[in-house]
Amino acid sequence: MGQVLRSLQDAKDGGLDSERVCVQLVQDCRHAEQHMTGLARQCEQLRTVLATTTDRRQRLGERQAGLEQAVLAALDGDDQQAHTLAETLAELENEQEGLAAQQAHDEKRLAHYRRRWHEAERHYHDLCRQLAMANTTRCVRQTMAAIREHPAVTLVNAKQALADIRARERQQHTDDELAPAGGEPRRHSADEVLARLRQQRNTRP
């Protein structure tokens, strides 16, 4: 933690560099958002698994009910048939218990991931609030720097000073985009111009 704070310090006054703080908070917000996405994916997968398990248990229960009736009917006259059906019913009951245990386990996991998602959401919103505050602090510092640079500027027109700063930044960005990709353009000499014109004259019909 100390190393992180040192990396955000301003080399001039030892305080926190608002620009670096904003960059760090933007990265933290992105990581928090990715973490929330991962947790949401886990929750969705578990919901799908639970829905499948519920469907399997329902169909299994219907088979159990039918077999129970068949066993009861066989007990009236065919003990061997009743025993065979009872073995199948026992297997279904064992499977049902296994599914019930798995379902209970998955429900606990889902509750766990949902709690973590809500915690991650609160952390994400907290980071967003910190980022908003850091951006405000950065704007204030830029304004105060403009006031120090231009003593005639007062707090009344500090907003205009900040607008001037942003305008210069945008202009610098535009100038950078419009700057030529290479160096100075090649200069033509008089000899080259004369040679070109003579060639044009000689090629005329």
Q: Please give the domain boundaries of the chain with CATH numbers for all domains.
A: 2-140 (1.10.287)
For the chain, the maximum distance between any two Cα atoms, rounded to a whole number of angstroms, is 122
- pTM for the structure as a whole: 0.57
Radius of gyration of the chain (CA): 38
The pLDDT value given to residue 135: 79
The pLDDT value given to residue 105: 95
Distance CA 60, CA 73 (A): 20
3-state SS class at 185 = coil
The pLDDT value given to residue 82: 86
> Residues 6 or more apart from 186 whose CB is under 8 A from it?
none
The pLDDT value given to residue 75: 83
Dihedral sign for Cα atoms in the order 19, 23, 29, 32: negative
Q: Are 110 and 99 in contact (CB under 8 A)?
A: no
Block means of pLDDT (10 residues each) for the chain, 205 residues, are 40 58 84 92 96 96 90 84 88 91 95 94 89 78 65 54 62 55 53 61 59
